[in-house]
Amino acid sequence: MQVAFLVAPEGTEQVELTRPWQAVTAAGGTPTLVSTRSGRIQAFHHLDRADSFPVDRTVDAASVADFDALVLPGGVANPDALRMDKGAVSFTASFFETGKPVAAICHAPWLLIEAGVVRGRTLTSWPSLCTDIRNAGGTWVDKQVVVCPQAENTLVTSRRPGDLHAFCKTLVEEFAR
């Protein structure tokens, strides 16, 4: 299974990148770090700089056809930057258009809102996104992990780093279907 991890050049919550990455790898999948710029991305632990990671492919050079699923890590700055990038928004929307599963945690649903894929779906997120999700036509619930299957694809969402165990377990199970 080929899984794209879409992140901005700066601002990803490190644990929300590394734990799902490890889960995909442990399940026999191949994760690929996709970003809006080449080079390295700078991850964070809350507001403090953490590690940097090499970009495997830029969003402009990535094709949805090359991947089986998409993971959107959170952090406040990460999805905020991605939703301002037309290529990142289009790349994300394409997973929904092609019926491929997507998993998003924390603030990552901001990118889903920008991609116009929230309407009619039930999801969770960091609590401050509740109104944004509702205004975009989605149903927000306060649960550790939510799986929203639609005819066209499955969306897995979680609220925060404390939910990573359930998030990783569920995304691996859903991506394997």
* Residue 153 confidence class, pLDDT cut points 50, 70, 90: confident
Q: Is the pLDDT of residue 152 over 80?
A: no
Residues above pLDDT 70, as percent of the chain? 99
How confident is residue 151, by pLDDT bands cut at 50, 70 and 90?
A: low
What is the average per-residue pLDDT within 163-167? 98
Interval 13-27: pLDDT, tens: 999 999 999 999 999
At residue 149 the predicted structure's pLDDT band, cuts being 50, 70 and 90, is: confident
* Token pair for 71: 């993971």
Q: Each residue of 105-123: pLDDT tens digit?
A: 999 999 999 999 999 999 9
d(CA 165, CA 123): 17
Catalytic residue numbers, as ranges: 106-107
Section 58-78 average pLDDT: 97
**Order of strands across the sheet that contains 48-54:** 10-13, 40-45, 48-54
| Overall average pLDDT of the 134-159 stretch | 93
pLDDT at 57 over 90: yes
Residue 159 contacts residue 86 (beta carbons within 8 Å): no
CA distances for 31 relative to 26, 27, 65, 97, angstroms: 11, 11, 15, 21
> Could you give the angle at which helices 164-175 and 14-26 cross, rounded to 10 degrees?
40
What integer pLDDT is reported at residue 24 of this predicted model?
98
User: Would you state the pLDDT for residue 150?
Assistant: 75
- Supply the pLDDT for residue 32: 98
Domains of the chain: 2-175 (3.40.50.880)
pTM: 0.97
Whether the CB-CB separation of 156 and 112 falls below 8 Å is answered with: no
What was the pLDDT predicted at 35? 98
